[in-house]
Amino acid sequence: MFRFVLALCIAIIGGPAMATGLTGEFPSIDGGTLSIGDWRGQPVLIVNTASRCGFTYQYEGLQRIHDKYAEQGLVVLAVPSDDFRQELKDAEAVKNFCELNYGLTIPMTDITHVRGQQAHPFYKAVKAETGFEPKWNFHKILLAPDGNVAATWGSATRPDSRAVTQVIEGYLD
């Protein structure tokens, strides 16, 4: 019922749910690629991250919601970025930092641009369709199971806050 009401509200007021669905491939921090298309049919929370930011503690919340909702279909993707000059020097350092300090098991991309001319095509597509572009680290984009942007949040909104989890829960199996 929540999904229907949410979709109806967005359809009436217009907005991101009217998009055609976003896709994209990212280089994985573990090697290989991560494809958003592989997660079609599941909600995906994509967060641009940085290891030396005042919001870095949010890695704990990202891992917490992954642990709580992964079996119901949620994918949480961390996208380390140095666009705000707060990321470590290379992907290996980022990976080690996240594993040692936060026990992160969520998928992570290699260090990726999320804004401006060098932004990854996914972020360019999000901006073109919704106007949303990360203004700082730990901005969150929730893709609905159909690949459309369901919601976005800024840095100050914790990933495990009720504002985020309530929307996520509306898309879970």
pLDDT in tens, 43-76: 999 999 999 999 999 999 999 999 999 999 999 9
Residue 15 has pLDDT above 50, yes or no: no
**How far is the CA of 161 from the CAs of 19, 147, 153, in angstroms?**
26, 22, 11
Structure tokens at 72: 């119901």
pLDDT of residue 173: 78
Annotated active-site positions, please? 53
Contacts of 156 (CB under 8 A, 6+ apart): none
Domains and CATH numbers, the chain: 2-169 (3.40.30.10)
**How far is the CA of 19 from the CAs of 46, 87, 110, 126, in angstroms?**
17, 31, 27, 10
Decide: 90 and 170 in contact? Cβ < 8 Å.
no
pLDDT band at 164 (very low <50, low <70, confident <90, very high): very high
Using the 8-state DSSP alphabet, how is residue 148 labeled? S
pLDDT of residue 23: 79
Alpha carbon 98 to chain centroid, angstroms: 16
Max Cα–Cα distance, the chain, nearest Å: 46
pLDDT of residue 92: 97
pLDDT of residue 12: 32
Return the H-helix or E-strand segment holding 27: strand 25-27
pLDDT band at 17 (very low <50, low <70, confident <90, very high): very low
% of residues, the chain, pLDDT over 90: 86
Q: Of 93, 137, 100, which Cα lies nearest the Cα of 115?
A: 137
pLDDT of residue 97: 98
Q: What is the mean pLDDT of the chain?
A: 90
**How far is the CA of 106 from the CAs of 2, 9, 26, 113, in angstroms?**
27, 31, 14, 19
Provide mean pLDDT across the span 89-109: 97
Decide: 36 and 44 in contact? Cβ < 8 Å.
yes
Provide mean pLDDT across the span 106-127: 96
Cα dihedral across residues 165, 167, 169, 173: positive or negative: negative
Structure tokens at 167: 């929307």
Provide mean pLDDT across the span 2-7: 39
